[in-house]
Amino acid sequence: MNLDDIYIAIEEDLRKYDTVEFFKQNYLKGFTEESKYYEYPPFFGDTEFETDNYREMISFVLQEKGRSYRFYFENSDNKEVQKGMIFINKDGSMYLGVGVFSPFSIEYQKRLKNDFHSSLVVICNETSPPDTLNELKEVVKKNDPN
């Protein structure tokens, strides 16, 4: 059975560590990080910060607008959600995502919208969501039947 990757956009004023922790506690309980080592910036340039603790890296990235990072979590034993994603974007936005089995997709879209008071939800199967909030808003607008 396929997973639907559902992302909700968090605007800059809610881009806080508490928001990440709420998401982790309510959507990713029992999940493990896919990485065991975090380096900023990832993949290129001189290392500014490194740690083996994702919470320390999230705190570091959130300290300054313009920093971006992608965190991935997994739990193959969960019967509804098997993947979790936290994307912190350079434009100040943040996407929180879950990879859910298709029969649970609508339920999780509603939960995310309700819990994070946003209608900026997009499903990106087999692709990453747009890199900026404005691009994501355009995708949501295009997919809105109203």
Q: pTM score, two decimals?
A: 0.91
CB neighbour list of residue 58: distance below 8 Å, 6 or more residues apart: 17, 20, 69, 71, 86, 88
Structure confidence at residue 146 (pLDDT): 61
Question: Would you place residue 12 in the very low, low, confident or very high pLDDT band (cuts 50, 70, 90)?
Answer: confident
Question: Can you give the residue range of the structural domain that contains 89?
Answer: 3-143
28-59 tens-digit pLDDT: 999 999 999 999 988 778 888 999 999 999 99
Instruction: List, in order, residues 6 or more apart from 59 with CB less than 8 Å away.
Output: 17
Q: For tokens 């193959």, what's the residue? A: 76
pLDDT at 139: 85
Q: Determine the longest span between alpha carbons in the chain, in angstroms.
A: 47
| Sign (positive or negative) of CA dihedral 15, 18, 24, 27 | negative
Q: What total number of domains does the chain contain?
A: 1
- Structure-token pair, residue 139: 């995708």
Q: How far is CA 47 from the centre of its chain?
A: 23
pLDDT band (50, 70, 90) for residue 145: low
Q: What is the pLDDT of residues 109-142, one digit of tens each?
A: 999 999 999 889 999 887 889 989 999 998 888 8
Q: How far is CA 80 from the centre of its chain?
A: 17
HSE value, Cβ hemisphere, 13 Å, CA-based, for 144: 10
Average pLDDT over residues 95-115: 96
**Tokens 């919470």 -> residue:** 55
**pLDDT value of position 141:** 84
Closest CA to 118 of 2, 8, 4: 8
- 61-71 residue pLDDT tens: 999 888 999 99
**In this structure, what token pair is assigned to residue 94?**
């943040």
Least confident interval from 72-76, 98-102, 123-127: 123-127
